[in-house]
Amino acid sequence: MSGQQCLRRLAASSPLRSQPLLRVCSRAIRLSASPTTRSYSVISRATSSGLLSQASRRPGRSSTQRVALFSQSRSYADTTVVKVPQMAESITEGTLKQWSKQIGDYVEQDEEIATIETDKIDVSVNAPEAGTIKEFLVNEEDTVEVGQDLVKLELGGAPSGSAKQEAKDEPKEPAPKEQETSSQPQGQQEQPNKEKPEPKKEESKPEPPKQESKPAPTQKPSSPKEQRSSESEPKQAAPGAREERRVKMNRMRLRIAERLKQSQNTAASLTTFNEVDMSSIMEFRKLYKDEILKKQGAKLGFMSAFSRACILAMKEVPAVNASIEGPNGGDTIVYRDYVDISVAVATEKGLVTPVVRNAESLDMVGIEKAIADLGKKARDNKLTIEDMAGGTFTISNGGVFGSLMGTPIINLPQTAVLGLHAIKDKPVAINGKVEIRPMMYLALTYDHRLLDGREAVTFLVKIKEFIEDPRKMLLG
């Protein structure tokens, strides 16, 4: 039965008394922002309980008060379903990694309820309004799609006896005397002491039950986050034990494996090496790092120097900053006048490559600041899709972990990747004499479909020259 038919039947059954009721119902329907079917069901419940009929028969109560009474009865059963939010154009699904709350917990507006893991970033699901969690519609480790129902939330304030209200009420109970002395006049303080001396004794009695509530924190380890952290920690096996543990790969690790294998299968990868003397750039950094940190708040490192050297070397070998695009492996070369440098950052979940955009327009300090900001966001798990989209050339610094030499893999559709390694003191022949110099191996992996050996070696030698004599970068 539709809402209009319901109203007509009410009017026909009682023409005289139904007129104020019809006005209340029609106005309540217009004011309600919830779906129409839910409004009619609430009206029928309120009518069956006699709530609206009682309100309409009271002559001293206005129609506005009757509507407020009806709205109040509707809000008690108002629920909403939280759905999987939009994540990015290229992401349509993810894995529900964990619930941040449990059934029965009260959540504030915009408070995190769950975390969805995608192949690029982690997306937090927040409560659209304040309310109490009533039901989980999916389980942890389930695959969810954008727009899918996640959790039922009963809207409204915190229910009586909730954990948050108890936390707020507990500090008020043990100190009634202090509150009286600070907020009440002296006359009002003495009256309770004279007239009701017994309640104070009664107030001192409830103190022992508080000790019973103290063991409650021991139940906290059962929360999803702490359970997950305890499960992920490796257990110390007894000597001689032969145990195995199988852990499902997360989406980011699966995506990394897929892209790296795709790179090996698509690009004709080849790596060329060179050795660079770091004496000059280390002296340069030693002279100016304190001044730059004091004036501009940036820690001067080696990544900005190598980034700047790569940008200048690309002017002579522009194919390093190009890419191959098109069907069937690509049939078109795309040359670019801008340089977006992808910086490889290792995180707990895997390797990510946030992008420093328009690096050709930045100086060394600007590049250093951008790399520091991206690195911090990566470690704090706050990178967005926009931070990692694109990139025309990649620099990977395995030297921070002590790598002496390695062959990085190309990040498609890019053409080349530069690998930096650890700085080691080595004996080197300088002008016919043996000297101890800090040396670093450089590795350039390039796509031989686009770059020949001559261009790749020329590019790497130019980087070597800029690093060994930073003054040349002023002439570039």
- Cα separation, 255 vs 250, in Å, equals 9
| Residue from 87, 11, 7, 18 nearest 57 by CA | 18
Average pLDDT, integer, range 181-194: 42
CA end-to-end distance (rounded Å), the chain: 80
**In terms of CATH architecture, what is 79-155?**
Beta Barrel (2.40)
Q: Is the pLDDT higher at 354 or at 97?
A: 354
Q: Residue 279 has what pLDDT?
A: 96
Q: Are strands 351-352 and 345-346 parallel, antiparallel or unpaired?
A: antiparallel
- Domain residue spans in the chain? 3-75, 79-155, 253-474
Which residues participate in catalysis according to the annotation? 448, 452
Pair 203, 209: CB distance under 8 Å: no
Q: How would residue 381 be classed by pLDDT, with cut points 50, 70 and 90?
A: confident
Q: Residue 105 has what pLDDT?
A: 87
**Percentage of the residues of the chain whose pLDDT score is greater than 70:** 66
Q: How would residue 3 be classed by pLDDT, with cut points 50, 70 and 90?
A: low
Half-sphere exposure at residue 384, Cβ-oriented, CA atoms within 13 angstroms:
7
Range of weakest confidence among 86-95, 110-119, 370-379: 86-95
Q: Residue 23 has what pLDDT?
A: 53
Given a cut of 80, whether residue 7 has pLDDT beyond it is no
Q: How would residue 235 be classed by pLDDT, with cut points 50, 70 and 90?
A: low
Given a cut of 70, whether residue 35 has pLDDT beyond it is no
Average pLDDT, integer, range 309-333: 92
Dihedrals phi, psi of 106, to nearest 5 degrees: -95, 135
Q: At what angle do helices 303-316 and 279-296 cross, to 10 degrees?
A: 110
Specify which residues 88 forms β-bridges with: 91
* pLDDT per position as a tens digit, 408-461: 999 999 999 999 999 999 999 999 999 999 999 999 999 999 999 999 999 999
| Residue from 415, 469, 435, 432 nearest 276 by CA | 469
What CATH code would you report for 253-474?
3.30.559.10
Q: Residue 25 has what pLDDT?
A: 47
Contacts of 46 (CB under 8 A, 6+ apart): 52, 70, 73, 74
* pLDDT per position as a tens digit, 236-287: 667 788 889 998 888 878 888 888 898 999 999 999 999 999 999 999 999 9
Given a cut of 90, whether residue 48 has pLDDT beyond it is no
Q: Which element (helix H / strand E) includes 453?
A: helix 453-468
Average pLDDT, integer, range 144-156: 86
Given a cut of 50, whether residue 91 has pLDDT beyond it is yes
